[in-house]
Amino acid sequence: MVWIRNLIAVLVWAGLAALSRPVTGNFSWAVFSFGLGTLLAWHIWQLSRVVRWTRDLQRPPPPSAGLWDEALARIYRHLRSQERQLALLEGNVQGFFAAAQALPDGLVTLDEEFHIDWCNRIARQHLGLRLPADRGQNLLNLVRAPAFVDYARQEDWPAPLLVRSPGGGERLLMVQLISYNKHQRMLLTRDVTQIEKLETTRRDFVANVSHELRTPLTVLAGFLETLRDMPPGALSDEQREQYLKLMLDQAQRMQAIVADLLTLSTLESSPTTDPQPVNMPILIETALSQARALSGGRHAFASDIDADMDVLGTATEISSAISNLIINAVRYTPDDGHITVSWRREADGSARYAVKDTGIGIAAQHLPRLTERFYRVDRSRSRESGGTGLGLAITKHIAMRHEAELDIASELGQGSTFSLRFPESRVVAAEHRTRQ
Ligand code: ADP
């Protein structure tokens, strides 16, 4: 031990001074006092260097000797090790903050009285919070929805709560409070608007399908009961024919709905197949012949078809979309109306298949909803003409699977134009047909 050695040296020195006093008189004390004074001065000098060093502890300690050297080296090592630990801790804290910021959900940390400590970016959007301005504010003063305030005041929060976002818009949030130690809580927020919309669509869809099938089923069951309860021979041949026709109509109606539902579900669930060149002029001509047959001479047809232009896609799907639009034109155009079908290249290189009619037209407020399943402007007219309310939903799906756009332009009482616009990348010249 250095300090013991130093102490022994001072004691030996003091002893020698005491022993030599009878011979040397006060001289030895003077030498001893001088030595002690020098030692003290040296220590004071060392101390002042240490004090100077403490003003900037990043520098290595001043070089010294003996006890000072050992003490300073230890202090310096201790400081460096603390610095390393601090950096490690800081890194961890930064990592936690970065992770909390990157969460797809909102996170707010609170004290037991709901004062805001910190929140991530998503929570700011969801709850309209601002940091640092809102730090220390009571969350219940900022999110005032009564349902949320009641929820927060519960003893504990075993389940989440659905609330409208106070951050604006029609956003629906699922929020959950969690107590993670005695004095700290966190609030998690998740945007469930899309999930809720999907759930509503699913519920509406099931209700619509049930409704659509119930009507023909009720009619069919009614006729069957009547027939069962009638005494044999009570029906004339003519009446029997009429009953059977009505029953067949209803059965066919259900068949059409089920077929369209299956088409929709196939379109939604099956992956798109490798696009092949599709002979558009032939598909359009085939659809036109079907439409003429359905019209039975009640409408005038015209066509303007580019015979040398095809598209890349799936023939069965494109054929179904083409027919849906022509058949609708026939259904919703009164007798003597005109129907014009065109297949032309646009100035921007895309190709447009358009069906223009001089029919009943559609009021502007219905246009955005026409491609929803079972949406009809006039329910009874659609039913009378054998519509399922799914044709445009199917067409829209097919368009999406071909990167095409379904455009609808219509004016009430004047007529409509429904068109499918295929991007240039999907358009091919008819030359490929000769190579096939
Ligand atoms: P529907 O089987 O009822 O025809 P669609 O999905 O094909 O179902 O069309 C949805 C609704 O859009 C129709 O009920 C009709 O009200 C309207 N509609 C479609 N095509 C036309 C058109 N050419 N002219 C006027 N209304 C149309």
pLDDT tens figures, 396-425: 999 999 999 999 999 999 999 999 999 999
> What are the pLDDT digits (tens) for 73-103?
898 899 999 999 999 999 999 999 899 999 9
- Distance between Cα 407 and ligand 1 center (Å): 14
Between CA 322 and CA 284 the distance in angstroms is 7
At residue 436 the predicted structure's pLDDT band, cuts being 50, 70 and 90, is low
- Note the Cα 110 to chain centre separation in Å: 27
- Note the Cα 302 to chain centre separation in Å: 46
Higher pLDDT, 233 or 340: 340
DSSP 431: T
Using CA positions, which residue lies closest to atom 11 of ligand 1? Answer: 376
Residues 70-91 as b/e (b if ≥16 CB within 10 A, e otherwise) read: ebbeeeeeeeeeeeeeeeeeee
Q: What is the pLDDT of residue 353?
A: 98
Degrees to nearest 5, angle at CA 349 with 345 and 355: 35
- Distance between Cα 45 and ligand 1 center (Å): 100
Protein residues whose CB sits closer than 6 Å to any atom of ligand 1: 324, 328-329, 332, 357, 359-360, 362, 370, 376-378, 382, 387-393, 416
Q: Would you say 49 and 55 are in contact if contact means Cβ atoms under 8 Å apart? A: no
Residue type, 429: A
- Distance between Cα 403 and ligand 1 center (Å): 22
Q: What is the pLDDT of residue 182?
A: 85
Between CA 308 and CA 280 the distance in angstroms is 9
Can you say whether residue 259 is alpha, beta or left, with left for phi > 0 and alpha for psi between -120 and 50 degrees? alpha
Residue tagged 């109509």 (tokens): 249
Rg of the Cα trace of the chain?
A: 44
DSSP 334: -
Answer whether residue 9 shows pLDDT above 90: no
- Distance between Cα 196 and ligand 1 center (Å): 28
Between CA 210 and CA 218 the distance in angstroms is 12
Q: Is 104 helix (H, G, I), strand (E, B) or coil?
A: coil
